[in-house]
Amino acid sequence: MEGVPVITILYFAWLRDRLGRSSESMPLPEGARCVGDVIRSLAGREGEYQAVFGTQGGVVRCAVNQEFASPEDGVRAGDEIAFFPPVTGG
Amino acid sequence: MTIRVSVQTTIFSMDAELPRLMQGGQEAGGVGAFLGVVRGGAGLRALTLEHYPGMTESMIGRIAAEAQTRFGLSGCTIIHRVGRLTVGEPIVLVLCLAAHRAAALDATAFVMDWLKTRAPFWKREEFEDGRTAWVEAREADDIAASRWARDGRPG
């Protein structure tokens, strides 16, 4: 649909397990300008979202368009926003 | 300068990777190498590695490029496996080709420290009794990586 600003959200590792999905497409929350606004919107959902993005939000990391980001970083329609725990590779 | 980055489920071979790395490295004097394997103990049976396709390759590519610039490498190979890996299986290979030993070995440590803190991989442990648990990030890895932060970090 023309004109509806949408963002893609990806979840990895235990966030995906807890939330029961690996991705979703959602309208950019009204007035949302930064990652923190998106986090607050997700934390406002019921169930696991509230736990993952509210009380445990401190350990969640994020990336915008595949670059590590912080809550102050901006978001725009069409962005790919990923949420995940601290990385444990190597 | 040859940079080779691969994220793969299949096993890798040091014998196959060495000659690839050496191409174009006529003035190189040595190769720094790290081969990581899945460490057992405490009833661990396997690890499953998940990653963020696209971002992983781009972050590893940047780490390799940073190592090349910083240590004057003439070649760098970074291979990281994903998927389910049992105890003892190879998980990561880092090869750094340089003119001298110190650069080759330092670059290898640099790449490993950054891989552990900046590449989007996550490990889930699977134990003999069927339990599974996501591995938590280690503060020691952040401290190890921070020692390289002299003039910016990859990313």
Over residues B4-29, the pLDDT tens digits come to 999 999 999 999 999 999 986 788 99
A-chain residues near B123 (CB < 8 A): 88-89
Beta-carbon separation of A13 and B124 below 8 A: yes
CA angle (A63 as vertex; B113, B114 as ends), nearest 5: 5
Over residues A16-43, the pLDDT tens digits come to 999 999 999 999 999 999 999 999 999 9
Measured distance CA(B18)–CA(B95) in Å, rounded: 8
Structural domain boundaries enclosing A45: 6-84
Q: Which among B36, B92, B117 has CB closest to A87?
A: B117
Beta-carbon separation of A89 and B122 below 8 A: yes
Answer whether residue B126 shows pLDDT above 70. Answer: yes
Structural domain boundaries enclosing B101: 2-146
| Residue A45: inside a domain | yes
- β-pairing, B2-8 vs B75-81, is parallel
User: Count of domains in chain B?
Assistant: 1
Alpha helices in B72-130 (DSSP H): 101-118
Interface of B with A (CB under 8 A): 36, 49-52, 54-55, 58, 80, 92, 112, 115-124, 134-138, 141, 155
User: Count of domains in chain A?
Assistant: 1
Provide the CATH number for the domain around residue A55.
Answer: 3.10.20.30
**DSSP string spanning chain A?**
-TT--EEEEEE-HHHHHHHT-SEEEEEPPTT--BHHHHHHHHHTSSTHHHIIIIITGGG-EEEETTEEE-TTSB--TT-EEEEEPPP---
Over residues B72-125, the pLDDT tens digits come to 999 999 999 999 999 999 999 999 999 999 999 999 999 999 999 999 999 999
Provide the CATH number for the domain around residue B113.
Answer: 3.90.1170.40
